[in-house]
Structure 1
Amino acid sequence: MIRVLFVKLLDDKRFNENRKITINEVAEETGIGRATLTRIANQQGYAVGTNIIDKLCDYFNCDVSDILQRVPDNNEIKST
């Protein structure tokens, strides 16, 4: 499964800038819908398009590898 590290990056940005950053603010600055960002934050395995990943990379000033992480599913863990 691919994990989107949106919440981690948002928490890091909040800490580094020492201010509260809301999902609404991210939505306004990126053009990504608030509902989409909420789903990314709350739904494990939510499918995200490359255009959204690109916008998030621009917003967080990061690379794709900083926002996506591959996590083995339970079947892969049991077979190793």
Structure 2
Amino acid sequence: MIRFRLKELIADKEFKEGRRITLEEVSRETGIHRTTLSKIANQKGYITNTDVLDRLCLYFEVPIGSIAEHLPVNDTEPQSQA
């Protein structure tokens, strides 16, 4: 399963810049719909496209590996339907 690190990236940026950053601000700056950002941040197993990932890399100024990570799926854990 792919786990997105959006919440951690926002927290890191908030700390570095000394201010609060909202999903609305990220949406405005990246052109990614706020609902999509919310799903990336909160929905386990959410599927997105490479354009969204590219925009997040540019906004946070990080490589793709900082946006998402691969986690092995436990065979006993139910998988969400795509």
Structure 1 stretches of at least 4 aligned residues deviating more than 3 Å after TM superposition: none
* AA in 1 matched with 2:37: L
Question: Deviations along 1:31-56, whole A, 9 cap, x unmatched?
Answer: 00001001111101100110000000
Distance in structure 2 (CA, Å) of the matches to 1:15 and 1:44: 25
List alignment gaps of at least 5 residues for structure 2: 77-82
Structure 1 unpaired stretches of 5+: none
Q: Partners in 2 of 1:10 and 1:36 — Cα distance?
A: 15
Secondary structure at the aligned position of 1:3 is classed as strand
TM-score normalised by L of structure 1: 0.91
State the partner residue of 2:57: 57
Structure 2 letter corresponding to 1:52? V
- Rounded to whole Å, the distance in 1 between the matches of 2:6 and 2:48 is 11
Distance 1:75 1:10 in 2: 31
* One-letter amino acid of the structure 2 residue matched with residue 33 of structure 1: H
Q: TM-score, normalised by structure 2?
A: 0.89
Identity of aligned residues (%): 46
Instruction: Kindly report which structure 2 residues correspond to 1:3-42, keeping only aligned pairs within 5 A, or say none.
Output: 3-42=3-42
1:20 is paired with a residue whose SS is coil
Give the structure with the larger helix fraction.
1
